Amino acid sequence: MESAAKMDLNPASKPNDDVVPADKKVIFFMLVSCFVLWGLLNNITDNLVPAFGKIFMMSAVDSSLVQIAFYGAYACLAIPAALIIKKYSFRHGVLIGLGFYIIGALGYIPAAIFQVYDIFLVSIFILAGGLSVLETTCNPYVIALGSEETAIRRINFAQAFNPVGSIMGLFLAKFVILAHLNPATYEERLEMSASELSSIRVGELFWVCVPYVGLIAIALVIWAFFFRQKSDLKDSGNDINFMGSLSNLMSNKRYVFGVISQFFYVGMQIAVWTWMIKYIMALTDMVEHEAVDFYIYAVFMFVGARWVCTWLMKYIHAPRLMAAVAAAGMAVTLGTIYLPSGVSIICLMLISACMSLMFPTIYGIALRGLGDDVKLGAAGLIMAIIGGAVITPIMGSFIDNSTLAFMVPGFSGEEAAVRSSYFTAFVCMAVIFVYALFNSKKS
């Protein structure tokens, strides 16, 4: 998942300022490792939905409980994480976040041994809670490592490694988890004996555990480094006035609409990426580890479009650019629903390109001019990540029940159900389009 921090968006950097001071470069490197870690885990978790759906022979709605556990943890721990780093230090936040990750990842072992989906969900919630604390901590920690003049360059440099982790996560999912799923179909598994099915699951769940448990070694190295650090940088801003800030924020239309838009954006991103493999498999003869290639292409488009949109913001007012991209997003979403399979798959990947600038742009617009209310405001926008836990199962229910299939004449069966589920993404994109227009005339 992405995140940002409030800062001067047009800093007058001094030519001789180091983006990262020499005595802080090792700390910066270790923090960047955290950016890679949560980027990797965010995207590898998306692939657990089709994996668990096949392993435990579940419906789309039931397998999407993975995303409810993952993004629900983000929503629950955003404000507590902000209070932790306010009371103690950024170092404590990193230690707590990594500690939760390690505990959650270790929970995958008994879950695999006993083949219990619910234990996986609890472990995912604990693991994701750690990532939430890390995201809330590491961004302001990076900003605090140097001068205010170079803060925007420093945080962008650190954030650039997040999609590197995302791509690594997709390759791990493809070659470690999805490639080791037994090719037996749902119907074939129904005909198996209990012992035969259990034997297959043992192997599949072992490979689900490998990347999560294997990354514990890296997390332990980072944890040990920060445990030994003597520097305890703290958030030097004012204390959070919870009730006063909440009242101010609720009366700010731009902020409230921004939280709503962020909810729909994150929900759309997670739902589109979660069900992308299902879409590809419904339209082609591919299996999971082959279909994930299109997910990888989509993430590359997402990263490339982010750079292009960042450059275009030099010349185009950000909300207007977001409105144009959202309009294009609605068009390619309709293409995903209605066009023939070859073209519709291209449209599906182009949705990712259209989503690329939305999270940071909504974040920046919503937090503009909030003053001392910005800390609680930022936490509220992180809590909006729960959209991933809400929109994903809604989209899954449309796939399971073919609720909207009548709206895609010319297609039938599973293909019609999967295509029609992308009306959910269209509605989300429309909300963001309206928010962009709402702010397009403001300086």
Q: Report whether pLDDT(392) > 80.
A: yes
pTM, to two decimals: 0.83
Is 406's pLDDT higher than 80? yes
Q: Determine the Cα–Cα distance for residues 319 and 10; give it in Å rounded to an integer.
A: 17
Reply yes or no on whether the pLDDT at 236 is more than 80. no
Please give the Cα distance from 50 to 242 (Å, whole number): 40
Determine the pLDDT at residue 86: 74
pLDDT digits (tens, 9 = 90+) for 25-75: 999 999 999 999 998 998 899 899 999 999 999 999 999 999 999 999 988
Q: What is the pLDDT of residue 443?
A: 55
- Is the model more confident about 426 or about 147? 426
Provide the pLDDT confidence category of residue 14 given band limits of 50, 70 and 90: very low
Mean pLDDT confidence for 355-376: 83
Residues 6+ apart with CB under 8 A from 146: 17, 18, 19, 20, 21, 24, 154
State how far the Cα of 250 lies from the Cα of 277, in Å rounded to an integer. Answer: 39
Average pLDDT over every residue of 101-106: 97
pLDDT per residue as tens digits for the range 278-333: 999 999 989 999 999 999 999 999 989 988 888 888 889 889 999 999 999 999 99
